């Protein structure tokens, strides 16, 4: 298995594109993206658990009830959420792009991201669709990745190549996500494509299994979005024998999928609004995996810990505090904590109590761009990883006037 270029266009039969159609005022930023498969593909999607859901999620869920899809259209700049005509607009987006591509509207995944509660005008989307379809190409992943960005500062994409049954397969993805990220299923918007042949049922099983230890373990600010969606399309053009049950081929596919999702998780967390650091909390020695997940997520979500990491302050007490209120079954008198980066690793807590350490060395370690928070519970074999970012002044600046 190796990382390759191409993102969502790496797999056979997939092309993508992106344009500025006029939803966003800034003409230099693309606001409409499209991913297209040459043939109908197996499809699986997971959605936000927020009771307030964007209209595109409702429409997409209906469209892929049969486990099939052929294209994804997504706009940025407006979430199409809490709008009286939201369903109508999302259906119209599907109809317009389907007519242009000459495929069924029921095979369209539709998504939106941006400001909640503001009407979405279909006119700029309608006028931009011909150019959007014309932009489709094997080199179009960058344009599509840009078209789904909101407060993101970097495009998020990856692809990997792997082998199933002697056939070379590829899987790639793009994502957007910078703020309002505290998922309980996925994160903001993620679109993944693969040419591996896998049934809709097994694709759904693969995705639902994977997100429990990837996208569900990401948090930027503790807010679960209304528009979170992760979609995978598998068109089977690699020519492998279709995966219809668990086994070696399914395990290989799962490994490839996980490589893509973990990479995107790290990119999303590291690009949190106003963030200067990627935080990765690794928990081991838990009684169960679920306990490890609860502890890791609690630590990564702590505003006090996030602020301490911004200031490169080795305030390990905030780690213990977050573990203590997590609700997890933990013996706090057994907990060890260390901080690690490319500058080294330093132990700061042993058996739930502080130990002597150099504040100067600790600060040098914590000034790096990527920080690992290592937690040993010393009570079993369960382990988990969670991703987040530091909390900075800029997070408040960005969200203080996001709508206006």
CATH number, domain with residue 94? 3.60.70.12
Which is nearest to 46 in space by CA: 247, 243, 188? 188
Active site residue 187: yes
Residues 316, 247 share a domain: no
Whole-number Å distance between alpha carbons of 312 and 143 = 36
Separation between Cα atoms, residue 285 and residue 289, nearest integer Å: 9
pTM above 0.85, yes or no: yes
Q: Are residues 203 and 286 in the same domain?
A: no
How far is the C-alpha of 255 from the C-alpha of 162, rounded, in Å?
A: 9
Query: What pLDDT does residue 185 have?
Result: 38
Q: Which of 270, 298, 330 is the last residue of a domain?
A: 270
Kindly state the average pLDDT of the residues 265-287: 90
Please report the pLDDT score of residue 183 as a whole number: 54
Check which CATH number belongs to the domain holding 353 and give it.
3.10.20.340
Indicate whether 245 and 287 sit together in one domain: no
Q: For residue 181, is pLDDT > 60?
A: no
pLDDT at position 399 is: 73
Question: 22: which 2 tokens?
Answer: 């006029």
Query: What integer pLDDT is reported at residue 224 of this predicted model?
Result: 65
Question: What pLDDT was estimated at residue 223?
Answer: 59
DSSP category for residue 238: T
What are the residues whose beta carbons fall under 8 Å from the beta carbon of 207, sequence distance 6 or more? Answer: 44, 45, 46, 230, 232, 257
What tokens appear for 404 in the block? 């206006």
Same structural domain, 384 and 333? yes
Q: Give dist(CA 339, CA 30) in Å, integer.
A: 39
**Letter string b/e over residues 304-339, b meaning 16 or more CB atoms within 10 A of that residue's CB:** ebbebbbebebbbebbbbbbeebebebeeeebbbbb
- Phi, psi of 262, deg, nearest 5: -65, -40
With bands split at pLDDT 50, 70 and 90, how would you rate the model's confidence at 56?
A: very high
Do 307 and 352 share a structural domain? yes
Which tokens go with 106?
């029921």
Structure tokens that stand for 68 in this block: 């099939």
Residue 268 predicted with pLDDT over 90: no
- pLDDT surpassing 70 at residue 86: yes
Could you tell me if 63 and 93 lie in one domain?
Answer: yes
Residues 147 and 176 in one domain: yes
Q: Which two tokens stand for residue 72?
A: 């994804």
Number of alpha helices (DSSP H) and beta strands (DSSP E) in the chain: 11, 15
Sign of the alpha-carbon dihedral angle for 19, 24, 28, 30 = negative
285 and 265 in a common domain = no
Residue 403 pLDDT class (50, 70, 90 cuts): low
Are the beta carbons of 398 and 151 closer than 8 angstroms?
Answer: yes
Of the three residues 217, 251, 270, the one that is the final residue of a domain is 270
Lowest mean pLDDT across 158-167, 172-181, 320-329: 172-181
Residues 205 and 326 reside in one and the same domain: no
What pLDDT does 177 receive? 76
Q: Per-residue pLDDT for 68 more than 50?
A: yes
d(CA 174, CA 291): 30
Q: What is the mean pLDDT of residues 133-138?
A: 98
> Predicted confidence band at 341 (pLDDT cuts at 50, 70, 90)?
very high
pLDDT at 186: 39
Residues 315 and 193 both lie in one domain: no
Instruction: Give me the chain's average pLDDT, please.
Output: 93
| The domain boundary residue, chosen from 237, 270, 303 | 270
The candidate with the shortest Cα–Cα distance to 185, out of 245, 231, 142, 152, is 231
Rounded distance between C-alpha atoms, residue 163 and residue 150, angstroms: 35
Percent of the chain clearing pLDDT 70 (strictly above): 95
Q: Where residue 274 falls among pLDDT bands split at 50, 70, 90?
A: confident
Q: What is the distance in angstroms between the CA of the first residue and the CA of the last residue of the chain?
A: 46
Q: Is the pLDDT of residue 174 over 60?
A: yes
Judge whether residue 206 has pLDDT over 90.
Answer: yes
Eight-state DSSP code of residue 38: E
Instruction: Report the candidate in 310, 325, 330, 322 with the shortest Cα–Cα distance to residue 371.
Output: 310
For tokens 């099939």, the residue is 68
- Please tell me the total count of domains within the chain: 2
Q: Tokens at residue 52, please?
A: 């307030």
**71: its two tokens:** 């294209």
Percent of the chain whose pLDDT exceeds 90: 80
Same-domain pairing of 261 and 298: no
The answer for residues whose C-beta is within 8 angstroms of residue 173's C-beta and 6 or more apart is: 7, 8, 157, 158, 159, 190, 191, 192, 193, 260, 261, 264
Domain membership of residue 354 as a residue range: 278-400
pLDDT at 178: 60
Tell whether the model's pLDDT for residue 180 goes beyond 60: no
Whether residue 162 sits in one domain with residue 305: no
Q: Looking at residue 322, what is its pLDDT? A: 97
Q: Stretch 59-74: mean pLDDT, rounded? A: 97
Strands of the sheet with 353-354, listed across from one edge: 353-354, 344-350, 336-341, 370-376, 278-286, 382-389
Burial 147-186 (b: 16+ CB within 10 A, else e): bbbbbbeebbbbbbbbebbeeebbbbbbbbbbbbbbbebb
Residue pair 370/278 in contact by the 8 Å Cβ criterion = yes
Active-site residue among 81, 150, 187, 392? 187
């Amino acid at each position: 298995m190796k990382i390759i270029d191409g993102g969502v266009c790496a797999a056979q039969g997939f092309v993508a594109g992106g344009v500025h159609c006029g939803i966003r005022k800034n003409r230099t930023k693309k606001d409409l993206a499209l991913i297209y498969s040459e043939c109908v593909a197996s499809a699986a999607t997971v959605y936000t658990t927020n009771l307030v859901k964007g209209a595109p999620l409702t429409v997409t869920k209906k469209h892929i009830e049969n486990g099939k899809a052929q294209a994804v259209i997504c706009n940025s700049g407006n979430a199409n959420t809490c709008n009286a005509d939201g369903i109508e607009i999302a259906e119209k987006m599907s109809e317009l792009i389907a007519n242009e591509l000459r495929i069924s509207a029921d095979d369209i995944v539709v998504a939106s991201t941006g400001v909640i509660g503001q009407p979405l005008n279909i006119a700029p989307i309608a006028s931009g669709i011909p150019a959007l379809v014309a932009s489709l190409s094997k080199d179009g992943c960058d344009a599509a990745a840009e078209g789904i960005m909101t407060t993101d500062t970097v495009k998020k994409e990856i692809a990997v190549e792997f082998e199933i049954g002697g056939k070379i397969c590829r899987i790639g993805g793009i994502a957007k996500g910078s703020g309002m990220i505290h998922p309980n299923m996925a994160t903001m918007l993620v679109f993944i494509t693969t040419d591996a042949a896998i049934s809709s049922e097994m694709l759904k099983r693969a995705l639902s299994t994977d997100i429990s230890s990837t996208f569900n373990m990401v948090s930027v600010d503790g807010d679960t979005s209304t528009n979170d969606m992760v979609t995978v399309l598998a068109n089977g053009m690699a020519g492998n024998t279709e995966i219809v049950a668990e086994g070696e081929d399914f395990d290989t596919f799962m490994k490839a999928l996980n490589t893509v999702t973990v990479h995107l998780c790290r990119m999303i967390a590291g690009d949190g609004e106003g963030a200067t650091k990627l935080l990765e909390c690794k928990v081991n020695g838990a009684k169960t995996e679920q306990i490890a997940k609860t502890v890791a997520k609690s630590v990564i979500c702590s505003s006090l810990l996030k602020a301490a990491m911004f200031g490169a302050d080795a305030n390990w007490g905030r780690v213990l505090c977050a573990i203590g209120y997590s609700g997890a079954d933990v013996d706090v008198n057994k907990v060890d904590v260390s901080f690690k980066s490319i500058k080294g690793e330093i132990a700061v807590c042993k058996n739930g109590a502080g130990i002597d350490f150099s504040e100067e060395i600790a600060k040098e370690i914590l000034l790096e761009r990527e920080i690992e928070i290592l937690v040993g519970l010393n009570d079993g074999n369960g382990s988990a990883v969670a991703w987040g970012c530091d909390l900075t002044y800029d997070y408040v600046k960005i969200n203080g006037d996001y709508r206006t």
